[in-house]
């Protein structure tokens, strides 16, 4: 579904992605893990057209992407952002937030589509005419997912979709995402700093550091802890909680 | 660890007066703290931060604190004048906040801010204060203290900013540190490195620490004892090493709903809340 090869990207003189290769099969779920500045979000932003200065090949649904994305691309690919506070318009009702993409793409029948999208993410119809500030963080993130789903895309790009949420709410949203992928046959590319979240959600995982993929692993390899690159081993150990001896073994990867 | 009690909190209540009526943020929290590391864990709105803030008298103006006892050594924290507070805050109890981006002064160099914290409580000359500040930056493992001393907060990374905060809060040598999500804004490895610095300094100087966090697993790997809060109540108190023997359904629910690296993609258990937990 997604084939990326030799992807490089720059912010001015800053070379932020270095020869990134990714391949995601249809209905697959691919996870990108790394720390701040590793370039994991930039991969998603480049796919979705938010980065101007890039080189390489991006094939989505067997079509090569150029510098511009057209409407058909966004029917196919939608992105969910990290912060549901920042990604929903504070002065638009949920109804308007969900109707807007339907109108832009001229799909029609927006009333039924909004009801269905809310239903898909497990929100009651009562939320339809509320404003974002009247919703909790978890409910807001459900609205952001509903907005992405309303165009019936085949691919969701998920940029830290649960890192702003409490763990109990995170579990609910992760379950929702898992169910949607099974029921709608979606393909996911998910970015997270949390190794456990990615291991839970994804079959294939790439660990990034300073714009490069340092290691690829399957969920099974993560479960066994058989990572090879010292950077990934360090991330793996850090996910295990505080241990004074482990901290002393850390190396800076600047 | 000695059994001497540093801080005794009995039946602490914090209520906020809002246009929509009273909000009861903390409901009858009690605990005794010795020279140990105590974790307070809970989700958003559980009252964990408000508990920490009430101890330091930092509750917002529309909030009301009542307690049967709020005793820090010989000081009754419930009835202090602003002048008496200034002798306690920073000097004897200090607080490390979550995000150094917002808690450091953006228009003052890092060095000047640390010196200010030191000289507020110690009558020393400028030269001596500078020497102490540089020593402190070294103690929080900043590699080039001179450069950071002269830098402004925006020139420091998140991890470095938080080390600077720790340096600033520890330089007056307080007896109790309240750390409110001090590492939540940091990457995992940096988070652990900052915790190690805090760990060493608190241990070496025999300070007590209250570590407030949403991360139950992290807190229990770091602290001696953990209080789990839910809707203003302490629903469970346990030794950190006994976490796997947690009895309260809320604590168990919090542990179970974490994704694990076991290669299992099936649904996570959902935390089912019961109204009775909030009655306590």
Query: Each residue of B163-189: pLDDT tens digit?
Result: 899 999 999 989 999 999 988 878 888
Whether B193 contacts chain A with CB within 8 A: yes
Instruction: Kindly tell me if the per-residue pLDDT of A15 is higher than 70.
Output: yes
Does residue B59 lie in a domain region? no
Q: Is the pLDDT of residue A205 over 60?
A: yes
Residue-range domains of chain A with CATH: 2-219 (3.40.50.300)
| Average pLDDT, integer, range A77-105 | 92
Give the residue-averaged pLDDT of A209-226: 90
Does residue A252 surpass a pLDDT of 80?
no
Q: Which domain holds residue B102?
A: 82-278
Of all residues in chain B, the one with the smallest CA distance to A222 is: B261
| Least confident window among A51-55, A81-85, B251-255 | A81-85
Which positions 218-237 of B are in contact with A (Cβ < 8 Å)? 218, 220-222
Residue B174 counted as domain residue: yes
- State residue B1's pLDDT score: 47
Q: Tell me: pLDDT of A101 over 90.
A: yes
Confidence of residue B2 (pLDDT cuts 50, 70, 90): low
> pLDDT per residue over B4-36, tens digit each?
899 999 999 999 999 989 999 999 999 999 989
Read off the pLDDT of residues A44-73 as tens digits, 9 standing for 90 and up.
999 999 999 999 999 999 999 988 999 999
Per-residue pLDDT, A253: 66
% pLDDT > 70, chain B: 99
How far does the CA of residue B272 sit from the closest CA of chain A (Å)? 9
Tell me how far apart the alpha carbons of residues B82 and B95 are, in angstroms, rounded to a whole number: 17
Q: What is the pLDDT of residues A107-164, one digit of tens each?
A: 989 999 999 999 999 998 999 999 999 998 889 999 999 999 999 999 999 999 998 8
Whether this model's ipTM surpasses 0.90 comes out as no
| CATH number of the domain encompassing residue B169 | 3.40.50.300
Asked, for residue B201, whether it belongs to a domain, the answer is yes
Q: Is residue B72 part of a domain?
A: no
Average confidence score pLDDT of chain A: 92
Chain A residues in contact with B192 (beta carbon < 8 A) = 238, 242, 246-247, 250
Go through chain B and tell me how many residues it has. Answer: 280
B189 touches chain A (CB under 8 A): yes
**Is residue B280 very low, low, confident or very high in pLDDT (cuts 50, 70, 90)?**
low
User: Domain count of chain B?
Assistant: 1
Q: What is the mean pLDDT of residues B200-215?
A: 91
For residue B247, is it within any domain?
Answer: yes
Decide if pLDDT at B41 tops 50.
Answer: yes
Flag if A172 and B254 touch (Cβ within 8 Å). Answer: no
Determine what percent of chain B is predicted with pLDDT higher than 90. 61
């Amino acid at each position: 579904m997604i084939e990326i090869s030799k992807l490089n990207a720059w912010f001015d003189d800053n070379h932020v992605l270095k020869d990134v290769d990714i391949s995601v099969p249809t209905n697959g779920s691919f996870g990108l893990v790394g720390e701040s500045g590793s370039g994991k979000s930039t991969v998603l932003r480049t796919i979705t057209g938010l980065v101007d200065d890039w080189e390489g090949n991006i094939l989505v649904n067997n079509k090569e992407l150029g510098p511009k994305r057209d409407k058909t691309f966004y029917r196919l690919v939608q992105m969910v952002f990290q912060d549901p506070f920042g990604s929903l318009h504070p002065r638009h009702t949920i109804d308007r937030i969900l109707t807007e993409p339907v109108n832009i793409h001229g799909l029609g029948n927006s009333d039924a589509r909004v009801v269905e999208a809310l239903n898909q993410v497990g929100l009651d119809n009562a939320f339809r005419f509320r404003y974002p500030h009247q919703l909790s963080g978890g409910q807001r993130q459900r609205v952001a997912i509903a907005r992405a789903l309303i165009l019936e895309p085949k691919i969701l790009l998920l940029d830290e979709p649960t890192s702003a949420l409490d763990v109990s709410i995170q579990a609910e949203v992760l379950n929702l995402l898992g169910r949607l992928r099974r029921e709608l046959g979606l393909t996911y590319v998910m970015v997270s700093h949390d190794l456990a979240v990615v291991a839970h959600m994804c079959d294939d995982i790439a660990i990034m550091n300073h714009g490069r993929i340092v290691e690829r692993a399957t969920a099974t390899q993560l479960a066994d802890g058989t990572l090879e690159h010292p950077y990934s081993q360090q991330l793996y150990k850090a996910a295990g909680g505080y241990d004074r001896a482990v901290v002393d073994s850390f190396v800076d990867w600047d | 660890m000695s059994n001497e009690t540093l801080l005794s909190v009995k039946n602490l209540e914090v209520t906020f007066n809002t246009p929509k009526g009273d909000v009861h943020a903390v409901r009858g929290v009690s605990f005794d703290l010795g020279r140990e590391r105590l974790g307070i864990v809970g989700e958003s709105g559980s009252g964990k931060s408000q508990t920490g803030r009430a101890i330091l008298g930092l509750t917002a103006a529309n909030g009301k604190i009542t307690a049967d006892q709020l005793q820090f050594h010989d000081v009754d924290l419930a009835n202090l004048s602003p002048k008496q507070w200034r002798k306690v805050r920073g000097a004897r109890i200090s607080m490390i906040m979550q995000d150094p981006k917002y808690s450091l002064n953006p228009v003052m160099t890092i060095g000047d801010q640390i010196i200010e914290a030191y000289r507020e409580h110690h009558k020393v000359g400028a030269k001596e204060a500078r020497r102490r500040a540089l020593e402190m930056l070294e103690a929080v493992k900043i590699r080039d203290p001179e450069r950071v001393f002269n830098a402004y907060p925006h020139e420091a990374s998140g991890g470095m900013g938080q080390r600077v905060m720790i340096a600033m809060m520890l330089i007056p040598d307080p007896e109790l540190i309240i750390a409110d999500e001090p590492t939540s804004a940091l990457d995992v490895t940096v988070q652990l490195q900052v915790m190690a610095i805090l760990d060493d300094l608190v241990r070496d100087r025999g300070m007590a620490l209250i570590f407030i966090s949403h991360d139950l697993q992290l807190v229990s790997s770091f602290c001696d004892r953990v209080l789990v809060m839910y809707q203003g109540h302490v629903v469970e108190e346990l030794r950190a090493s006994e976490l796997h023997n947690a009895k309260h359904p809320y604590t168990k629910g919090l542990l179970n709903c974490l994704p694990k690296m076991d290669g299992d993609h099936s649904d996570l258990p959902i935390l089912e809340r019961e109204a009775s937990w909030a009655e306590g």
